[in-house]
Structure 1
């Protein structure tokens, strides 16, 4: 049975737009948990931010003192020299200037004396130093935070890379590759940017609120109470809009994965798309996915973008109230002008963190939505752990590997309610070539997937040289097997590196030998760079058939105990196919071969041919024996060569 392709499979929360996402709270807490190993650096960051916030909070008070020096000097120059402040106030009251007298009584002035520029200069120097140190602390915190975030993201990428290698093949069968790639790339990058932008600003904003509130209460509890009136309304606005915007952020990144999946699918099969004239259909599906992404992104950004202007509006109302009441208290002498100026600055600083939090909401929600998708991948069920270290490339008694494969009453099903292979028994002797034929969906590829332990049997056992493969490690088992698929896969490196991919320990002579055995050497010698030709850049110089030969050379280099060929020669010409069959005959001298073939002419020399239907072996024998039996194989063979015979 052919496995569900990468574009197929059951829809779930990774591909279904109607699937429910994880809650914002748990995802955000789990995201913060990623920062736990960086406790020491975070402690230093918090200390620097606290220092920066405290110094920035003291700054307006110092500047307010400078304003008082200037204002006191201006007022003092207007008062008669030689009198005390109390006498000057009494003279103003006698002159009927009670309001002016009340204001002067609340000030610290020397009648007849102007601005004290020495004290003003000292105050400005102190303010400059305070703001300079605050800026340096903020810079240090930002530098350390960038280091922490990049370390966390580096670790997260490593975790995802390791997770991908531990996922069972079934995961990739039922999920779109483009969506998985989007989680590994786009979502991780978005998460990195979100952490970078939000962690520092959130700490800074929260600490600023506390520090500024303390300074406001110190200056005037009355004005502080007025400033706090708008806080509940601001928090309510932010909470309501966040709750409405979060599902759209989740949808935005889910639809981003759908767009990437469609683009990956279209580009991979671009030639077929053109051949069947499906450009309009592909464009229509892209427009559909792109439209869904646009709608989700628009709603998410629009809703979250409402928070900041609404909070700024509430902050402006607060500013007006503070200015009016503060001005009245200066007029009555209850506060100095510098105190009101400082308080107005503090009120701005108090609402500014709320505005910062509002502006970070869309970034935070987007980051948490990406984190949800990443966590979903990290939480996927992994391949079961190997039961034991098991033998690798040696037999059960430690002797040289032989390659005897036994299927003992094997049953398997992809889905519990859909039987595929039932009670299959088969023994393949070392050095034999086994051809597996049958109609589509008969279970041919499934059979070799079970040998590779891409899937484990549902019942029964598969033994190699008498050892149940479930007692072997997957790495140990697969190190004994060479596999060549119909679809070529070459890494972005030189031809030599691609051949050596089958065995990291292969020497140059062994690579050359594998290339000669698989007839790769014939065309490589004609390339300008020979074996150094980079396939990532120069794939146009190597045909599809030649690429397939390279994958066969890779299998030769691995010197496998068991060789699996899944339509491995379908992309080469008849003459080359004949030469490869001769080469494989030499390779099979020390290995057992399983060949899945649809072209029956390629398997005439097989030691045994298995004919499968609906997961069962209905016939087995040599080519001549099966033709003489006039059964299923005869029907398959006749259907392929009836035209040639007539």
Structure 2
């Protein structure tokens, strides 16, 4: 039964994956080269371990012919000088036992070295790829994150990166085992009896064709599996983050169904890949097993009654025993070859998503050599600014910000008011270059913010949003965020200025109180005051307040406003407020509607105009029930 829903077929990372060419080659070029030492050590040790593992069957075959069948025969081993071999049969027997013991001990040592080398190689690349992918993601503008869900990004940073580690460790081990064992076994078999060796090899072309067909079928399946994992993670992340809303809305059943659909989609795609894989592996083992049966049957007949069919020459019992053991060693790598291909295809699907995210071009043009922003007066100018989230305001009839211009002298306060959705928050986010303008320019003290170092711009601008985000940790850690070297006295001063010190000291552990994920242990008003204190501690020259007192009660708002009035006295401030009483003393008030500035002036001047601002004021003062025309 299919669990797909119509929207589930959309892979939000399809465009990113399509841009990636030869992801595994790139992985080894960019990350494997600098980690060549542990890889080389691991592979050489793996080769050594597998070569030594092939020696016991060969020694056993020589011992069978020398000691256990018919009249005694001379005991000798390839590459072993005759002077090392004892003269007596008993001595030769114990010598063969010692050789086998040494090979097992040597194989164990090589296996440990192999484990260290390949794990060091895989873990190092896993770490570097995850950090580089996160770093590349951090450089993207907010528009990218608006189109992608957190769960999808987490799926790449966690699941896909971990999938690479599985191949770089387990996959390379299997590859080295297959290569070494096949080459070693084939060499030994042809050394013992070239004719019978050809029989053992007869199934190899069949295995090759079988594997090629498997790769063609499984590759697109794994790409879809990785996509469905991302969508499932997004659904779970959204639901866990919004559990309070779900419960309050009595929507548990609805969300259960949606999770069931997402999980069902993953079940369908993954089970389809699993069915292909579990059909391929037994078939591969059966094919390899046929080669072993042919070897065993023909070799046994050869020992019993001489060369069968068109074969010629002699085959001793010891050679036959060695052949049987080595043929078994040959079958296992052929069977494991399917697992190697499986791990490789999964790694390809994951690496496409990783490099697709890593290569995502940011919409923000950043010049590494751009000069730092220098703020003297703090003057802010918007000159014909137009912006739309689609990226081309010229082709959009109703851009989010449309031809906005103003000149704010340094140290003054500018207030933005207007209906919800008018574009006020977007207008101020442009000053931080969360997005770049489509047309026009924004200047600070005459410097175009698009032509200065982005980091220096944001160091000079403090931003308090209407939804303060707190990180899991203590109150003090959240206050110091962005001012990591601040002293305890400085932290307390900022908290007092934001009217936060009193409630912080009332907490169980004061400034060392854990706030929980997203600050869940604090009220909305408390989180907002911590956010304000955090920005005040940074002491920026420019201050953006995006409805900074929206989540506090009237009494707390008055206390915060008193502090803000003192702190913004000589600081350029741009503020959005849904309560007009908090901005009525601003030097300039802009009334924004549908992305355009429709009125500007002081509080008294705008009331005298009797326009939209006067209507907004009337509604909040209780003089009007609704705003005419809205």
Q: TM-score, normalised by structure 1?
A: 0.86
C-alpha deviation, 1:188, in angstroms: 1.5
Separation in 1, partners of 2:566, 2:455: 26
Separation in 2, partners of 1:243, 1:475: 47
Q: 1:616 aligns with which of 589, 592, 596?
A: 596
Q: Is the CA contact 2:404–2:596 (under 8 Å) kept in the aligned structure 1?
A: yes
- Aligned counterpart, 1:438: 418
C-alpha deviation, 1:275, in angstroms: 2.3
Instruction: Say whether 1:381 aligns with 2:361.
Output: yes
C-alpha deviation, 1:644, in angstroms: 7.1
Q: Is the CA contact 2:225–2:266 (under 8 Å) kept in the aligned structure 1?
A: yes
Separation in 2, partners of 1:488, 1:169: 17
Separation in 1, partners of 2:403, 2:231: 40
Q: Unpaired segments of 5 or more residues in structure 2?
A: 1-6, 75-87, 307-312
C-alpha deviation, 1:619, in angstroms: 0.6
Q: Deviations over 1:203-255 (max 9, x none)?
A: 12112111111111111121111111111111222221222122222222211
C-alpha deviation, 1:56, in angstroms: 2.3
Q: 1:287 aligns with which of 239, 249, 260?
A: 260
Instruction: Say whether 1:579 aligns with 2:559.
Output: yes
What secondary structure is seen at the aligned counterpart in 2 of 1:189? helix
- Aligned counterpart, 1:487: 467
- Aligned counterpart, 2:609: 629
Separation in 1, partners of 2:425, 2:230: 29
Separation in 1, partners of 2:127, 2:317: 52
C-alpha deviation, 1:44, in angstroms: 2.5
- Aligned counterpart, 1:100: none
Separation in 1, partners of 2:518, 2:542: 32
Instruction: Say whether 1:242 aligns with 2:219.
Output: no
What secondary structure is seen at the aligned counterpart in 2 of 1:318? helix
Give runs of aligned pairs for residues 586-625 of structure 1, distance below 5 A: 586-625=566-605
Separation in 2, partners of 1:542, 1:168: 29
Instruction: Say whether 1:39 aligns with 2:50.
Output: no
Q: Unpaired segments of 5 or more residues in structure 1?
A: 1-9, 78-83, 86-114, 396-400
CA separation of 1:23/1:320 partners in 2, compared to 1, >3 Å: closer, same or farther?
Answer: farther
- Aligned counterpart, 1:99: none
Across the aligned residues of Structure 1 and Structure 2, the Cα RMSD in angstroms comes to 2.6
Separation in 1, partners of 2:241, 2:414: 32
Separation in 1, partners of 2:564, 2:9: 43
Q: Is the CA contact 1:387–1:471 (under 8 Å) kept in the aligned structure 2?
A: no
Instruction: Say whether 1:406 aligns with 2:401.
Output: no
- Aligned counterpart, 2:152: 179
What secondary structure is seen at the aligned counterpart in 2 of 1:525? helix
CA separation of 1:622/1:122 partners in 2, compared to 1, >3 Å: closer, same or farther?
Answer: same
Q: 2:22 aligns with which of 17, 20, 26?
A: 26
Separation in 2, partners of 1:362, 1:567: 53
Q: 2:92 aligns with which of 119, 125, 128?
A: 119
Q: Deviations over 1:136-174 (max 9, x none)?
A: 212211211111111111111221222122122221111
C-alpha deviation, 1:475, in angstroms: 1.0
Q: Is the CA contact 2:19–2:356 (under 8 Å) kept in the aligned structure 1?
A: no
- Aligned counterpart, 1:15: 12
Q: Is the CA contact 1:13–1:20 (under 8 Å) kept in the aligned structure 2?
A: no
Q: How many residues align?
A: 593
Separation in 2, partners of 1:321, 1:327: 10
Separation in 1, partners of 2:16, 2:215: 17
- Aligned counterpart, 1:212: 185
Separation in 2, partners of 1:540, 1:43: 49
CA separation of 1:402/1:508 partners in 2, compared to 1, >3 Å: closer, same or farther?
Answer: farther
Q: Is the CA contact 1:14–1:179 (under 8 Å) kept in the aligned structure 2?
A: no
What secondary structure is seen at the aligned counterpart in 2 of 1:425? strand
Separation in 2, partners of 1:12, 1:289: 11
What secondary structure is seen at the aligned counterpart in 2 of 1:590? coil
C-alpha deviation, 1:182, in angstroms: 1.5
Separation in 1, partners of 2:380, 2:368: 20
Q: Is the CA contact 1:246–1:300 (under 8 Å) kept in the aligned structure 2?
A: no
Instruction: Say whether 1:390 aligns with 2:371.
Output: yes
- Aligned counterpart, 1:517: 497
C-alpha deviation, 1:389, in angstroms: 3.9
Separation in 2, partners of 1:442, 1:362: 53
Separation in 1, partners of 2:251, 2:19: 40
- Aligned counterpart, 2:328: 348
Separation in 2, partners of 1:236, 1:306: 15
What secondary structure is seen at the aligned counterpart in 1 of 2:569? helix
Larger Rg computed on CA atoms = 1
Separation in 2, partners of 1:19, 1:40: 35
